[in-house]
Amino acid sequence: MTRYIFITGGVVSSLGKGIAAASLGAILESHGLSVTLLKLDPYINVDPGTMNPFQHGEVFVTEDGAETDLDLGHYERFVQTKMRRANNFTAGQIYESVLCRERRGAYLGQTVQVIPHITNEIQIFIQGGVHAAGGGAPDIAIVEIGGTVGDIESLPFLEAARQMSLQLGRRRACFVHLTLVPYLPMSGELKTKPTQHSVQKLREIGILPHALLCRANRVLPMDERAKISLFANVPQDAVISMPDVANIYAIPNMLHAQGLDDILCAELGLTLPPADLSVWTRMADALEHPRHRVTIGMVGKYVDSTESYKSLVEALKHASIHTSTRVEIEYIDSEAIEKGGLPALTHLDAILVPGGFGARGVEGKIAAIQTARNAKIPFLGICLGMQLAVIEFARHVVGLAHANSTEFDPDTPDPVVALITEWHDRAGTVEKRSTHSDLGGTMRLGAQRSPVNAGTQAARIYGASVNERHRHRFEVNNRFVPKLEAHGMVISAATPEHGLPEMMELQPNLHPWFIGVQFHPEFTSTPRAGHPLFNSFVQAALEYQRARTTPASTPLKTCNG
């Protein structure tokens, strides 16, 4: 029977419940347990797909094409279970489901209320998420409840968790509460009162935490742990210190060293073999003791909020582990390029242009791509980054001065990037784009497999086929592909059904490492295995760095990906 661990948060949001939940999942997996994780989001949006990245952070895409909270990315990086659509749901989805039931007469004329109808629906969604992956029920389901205790939006979710734990009975459910212990530099003290009040609020709801994860900017001294234990009515050994760390992949070992897994397994009535966390020890050591260092410029318009590129940043860390290279990311605001001109980029060892939506900052990215191409700096373009690389090449190499995407200029005479409905299909017809569209439901989403052309750099990286996750509406226009290829651009992978370009690269005589991908490879990168594309990108940056610092007479090793 599946046992449940509910993760709640208090005082403030963004304390790291997702990483804490994922780290706990990694520890339990190391004991030989099967684990799944769920994220319950209290906002009314149906999904985060159309939410502002500055406010919400990255949208993570699952293999089955769901746009989900970024915490699901943490889950997939820490545990080996693949997340699916059912692993993340919102208050919007819950209320939508209940209202649809009411319209169909499912409640037989009852007055529909938060309790029991909304709370029952939340429990139904939790049970559905736990069993969605197939292959039998997991041993442990870790359920992270978004928001903080006291938020009016979170109350139905907390009440549903309380009811569910009561129905499950002893040894089937437990609660972990993550809270802030702020440090006041003026008095030189860690203050435990916010944690005390947070636990008190949780107990008022009827939830008694079995362990506390105390976030602070330093290790929590024993005196503070004893004080929290006394006032929160939690055993002192269950008051776990979670200080700030430079490397999140050290957290599983940190929590295990304080016995969190033993405390929870005892509460759930589980007797387990010893944990084997050696893989996490090796990964943390590799990040902390690199042999090389490179600087990669990330040119985007969300650089003021690195949460917007969370999976991408982590994928570069994974490449750091597997190439023994410290990757320093220099964030470059593409809007600032448009306003103030392109800064010197020749000190960079590689340039990366990530995905995004909208016209803002696009010309700044194109300018950076042109510099990368001309200066032979290793370049990786992801999703929009690939589309802009095609536009840049079409303008400055092919000679299509007005080349653009119809996303930015609907009337461009050279729509090298467009919606499929805007360019000629195989029958030679053209359909006009509708002026109204459902922005949350018109994208190519989820994992899709495509063959890779032999003899290309893409083939050396991926092999015979590529299977990655997508999140985009616009495509490289096949009408222009012959012109692009005639000037040295190679479409190294395309979808088998419609021939939509999935990967592009430049011929070796034009550039040693210049690759664009329509998909999002960062969503499938994990610290255990890394990702072949990012490993190759970082290796190319190393080769470029060596070439700049090696006398011309010294032969250089060629990077083959």
Neighbours of 88 (CB within 10 A): 28
Q: Is residue 558 part of a domain?
A: no
- The CA–CA distances, whole Å, from 328 to 247, 316, 542 equal 14, 9, 12
Separation CA 94–CA 159 (nearest Å): 14
Residues 167 and 316 in one domain: no
Beta strands in 97-254 (DSSP E): 140-145, 173-180, 183-184, 189-190, 211-216, 239-243
Residues 317 and 214 in one domain: no
Residues 94 and 221 in one domain: yes
Tokens (6 digits) for 281 = 């020890």
Query: Hey, is 236 helix, strand or coil?
Result: helix
Q: Is residue 268 part of a domain?
A: yes
The predicted pLDDT at position 441 comes to 42
Separation CA 2–CA 462 (nearest Å): 37
Answer whether the bond into residue 116 is a cis peptide, omega within 30°. Answer: yes
Instruction: Assess whether pLDDT exceeds 80 at residue 13.
Output: yes
Residues 271 and 309 in one domain: no
Q: What is the CATH number of the domain that holds 396?
A: 3.40.50.880
Instruction: Assess whether pLDDT exceeds 70 at residue 560.
Output: no
Residue 336 buriedness (CB in 10 A; 0-12 / 13-18 / 19+)? middle
Residues 443 and 394 in one domain: yes
Helix (H) or strand (E) segment spanning residue 298 = strand 292-300
Give the angle subtended at the CA of 166 by the CAs of 164 and 171, to the nearest 5°. Answer: 100
Separation CA 180–CA 195 (nearest Å): 6
Q: For the CA atoms of 119, 120, 122, 127, what is the dihedral angle to 10 degrees?
A: 150
Contact assessment for residue 333 and residue 302, using Cβ atoms and an 8 Å cutoff: no
Residues 272 and 299 in one domain: no
Q: Is residue 559 part of a domain?
A: no
305 pLDDT band (50/70/90 cuts)?
A: low
For the segment 324-341, the average pLDDT, to the nearest whole number, is: 91
Residue 531 buriedness (CB in 10 A; 0-12 / 13-18 / 19+)? buried
Give residue-wise pLDDT tens across range 223-252. 999 999 999 999 999 999 999 998 999 999
Q: Across all residues in the chain, what is the average pLDDT?
A: 90
The predicted pLDDT at position 176 comes to 98
For the segment 500-526, the average pLDDT, to the nearest whole number, is: 96
Residues 314 and 215 in one domain: no
Q: Which residues contact 14 (CB under 8 A, 6 or more apart)?
A: none
The predicted pLDDT at position 302 comes to 72
Q: Is residue 540 part of a domain?
A: yes
Q: Is residue 556 part of a domain?
A: no
Q: Is residue 321 part of a domain?
A: yes
User: Could you tell me what percentage of the chain is helix, strand and coil, using 3-state DSSP and rounding each to the nearest 5?
Assistant: 40, 20, 40
Give residue-wise pLDDT tens across range 19-52. 999 999 999 999 999 999 999 999 998 887 777 6
List, in sequence order, the alpha helices (H) in 169-215: 193-205
> Which of the residues 522, 531, 543, 559 is marked catalytic?
522
> Which of the residues 74, 177, 472, 520 is marked catalytic?
520
Task: Pick from 3-17, 44-58, 432-446 the range whose average pLDDT is largest.
Answer: 3-17
Q: Which residues contact 485 (CB under 8 A, 6 or more apart)?
A: 491
Residues 434 and 477 in one domain: yes
Contact assessment for residue 27 and residue 277, using Cβ atoms and an 8 Å cutoff: yes
Which has more confidence, 556 or 302?
Answer: 302
Contact assessment for residue 353 and residue 384, using Cβ atoms and an 8 Å cutoff: yes
Strands 292-300 and 350-353: parallel
Please identify which residue in the block is written with the tokens 């009440």: 159
Separation CA 397–CA 374 (nearest Å): 11
Please identify, among 224, 249, 283, the residue that sits at the C-terminal boundary of a domain: 283
Side-chain half-sphere exposure of 401, counting CA atoms within 13 A: 0
The predicted pLDDT at position 340 comes to 84
In angstroms and rounded to an integer, the radius of gyration of the C-alpha atoms of the chain is 25
The predicted pLDDT at position 551 comes to 65
Domain that holds residue 230: 3-283
The predicted pLDDT at position 437 comes to 39
Please identify which residue in the block is written with the tokens 């470059």: 332
DSSP codes of every residue in 413-449: SEEEEE-GGGS--TT----PPPS---TTS-SEEEEEE
Q: Which residues contact 430 (CB under 8 A, 6 or more apart)?
A: 422, 423, 424
Residues 257 and 330 in one domain: no
Give the angle subtended at the CA of 520 by the CAs of 515 and 521, to the nearest 5°. Answer: 75
277 pLDDT band (50/70/90 cuts)?
A: very high
Q: Is 100 a catalytic residue?
A: no
Please identify, among 283, 315, 337, the residue that sits at the C-terminal boundary of a domain: 283
Give residue-wise pLDDT tens across range 461-475. 999 999 999 999 899
Please identify, among 283, 309, 324, the residue that sits at the C-terminal boundary of a domain: 283
For the segment 162-190, the average pLDDT, to the nearest whole number, is: 94
Q: Which residues contact 169 (CB under 8 A, 6 or more apart)?
A: none
Q: Which residues pair with 142 in a beta bridge?
A: 5, 37
Give residue-wise pLDDT tens across range 495-510. 998 899 999 999 999 9
Give residue-wise pLDDT tens across range 365-375. 999 999 999 99
Q: Which residues contact 365 (CB under 8 A, 6 or more apart)?
A: 299, 300, 334, 337, 353, 384, 385, 388
Q: Is residue 476 part of a domain?
A: yes
Q: What is the CATH number of the domain that holds 80?
A: 3.40.50.300
Give the angle subtended at the CA of 97 by the CAs of 96 and 102, to the nearest 5°. Answer: 95
Residues 171 and 312 in one domain: no
> Which of the residues 174, 214, 383, 559 is marked catalytic?
383
Residues 352 and 369 in one domain: yes
Residues 401 and 487 in one domain: yes
Tokens (6 digits) for 490 = 């190679």
Q: Is 522 a catalytic residue?
A: yes
Longest Cα pair distance anywhere in the chain, in angstroms? 86
Q: Is 383 a catalytic residue?
A: yes
Separation CA 470–CA 479 (nearest Å): 22
- The CA–CA distances, whole Å, from 481 to 240, 353, 490, 513 equal 57, 21, 9, 20
Q: Is residue 319 part of a domain?
A: yes
Query: Hey, is 546 helix, strand or coil?
Result: helix
Beta strands in 444-519 (DSSP E): 444-451, 465-472, 475-476, 489-494, 501-506, 514-517
Instruction: Assess whether pLDDT exceeds 60 at residue 314.
Output: yes
The model's pTM is 0.90
Tokens (6 digits) for 373 = 């191409």
Overall domain count for the chain: 2
Which amino acid is it at 149? V
Find, among 546, 524, 548, the residue nearest to 535 by Cα. Answer: 524
Instruction: Assess whether pLDDT exceeds 50 at residue 432.
Output: no
